[in-house]
Structure 1
Amino acid sequence: MKQARTVDELVEQLIDVGRMAVERGLVLASGGNLSARLPGSGEFVVTASGTWLDRLEPGDFTRMDLDGQVVGGHPSPSSEWKLHQRTYRVREDVNAVVHIHPQHAVLVDALGHPVRLFTLDHAVYVRSVGRTDYYPNGSDELADTAAAEAKVHDCVILGHHGCSAMGPDVGMAFRRAMNLEEAAIATYRALAVGDTETAFPAEAYHALHHA
């Protein structure tokens, strides 16, 4: 996806991502929520309450500012709007947040295992994985702990709930979400055959991120 130049283009991209997320089995029904902003903007658009991600239309988005005030669009934002707002407040470089419910990432975390990175794409795009304990959806605790993890990680697993993936644009945020779930599936398969150690080579990882 190219960098969006207008809010309307952001909304179009989020509509595409919502459809793809459901098609790939990364979220069901009205679970999950998406948001984005133009670089440097003090406002963001977020999916409205109760929307199904594969049925989004332009009217299904709320415009909010970084103080959490509704400034346009649909009057009822997602119950998880705080998760998005507080991530933007701590990450000026983040312009999109994809919050979905990937089964394997949540399962591996619930079983007490870290999601391991195996491939070059995992190492480049996921980079590292943060996590939070379970907190009620829409709560300050969930939003604040996820934002704290987002200061260090681009992908955060929300315990017994889902994940948040962040990026400088909508395309990268979704790419990271997909790679996180692929890494979680690989981790699950490794655990199934008794492997608890195999991962992307540490020296190669260091070279990628400290060149």
Structure 2
Amino acid sequence: MNDVFDTMRESMEGVHMRTPVERIVAGGRARRRRKVTAIAAGSAVAGGLSLVVMTGGAQVNAPPAGVHVQLAAFSVDSNADGTVTVKLTKEQTLDPAILESTLAQAGIPADIRINEFCTSPTDIPGFDKVMDSSKEAGGQVLITIDPAAMPAGTKIIAGIRTPDYLPDDPSKLGAVFGLARDGDTLRCSTELPR
């Protein structure tokens, strides 16, 4: 058995590690914590929340049995009435892929973007029946989504601005939400909507 270790040690003689082991271990622990708390790409909502959207029609999305996810950047909770409550915390960063996946588990297809704002080429009326929002003390934004009100074959689209994105722009816009059909080619821009 020692022959194996001796062979391995000899094959690594020319390799030198300049990073202390403690730093590597600490980095691994930090990455695991970030996975657990879903800290990633951009800050949830900066300033006010603007609903710029289009929707309409009857929905066939039935929410699955309760989803209850509590992370540092957001929480998603299925409610007894079939709606889903999403809470965004602007002090924490948000990973759009994790939020999309969590919403999908709650029966809500979504396309979430950070510092990119999209619109659908199709006018879909009735978004006010799908989504409602309010701002809580401490800057958290509370969103209630009714998957049953979403027309079949649609998804929620959201562009969320981080605090450091275009910091000199006077706009207080924090996020833009809407609906798009699954096959739509979205029109997206990094410019803040006016």
Greater relative contact order: 1 or 2 (C-alpha under 8 angstroms, separation 6 or more)? 2
TM-score relative to the length of structure 2: 0.30
Where is the helix percentage greater, Structure 1 or Structure 2? 1
* Larger strand share, 1 or 2: 2
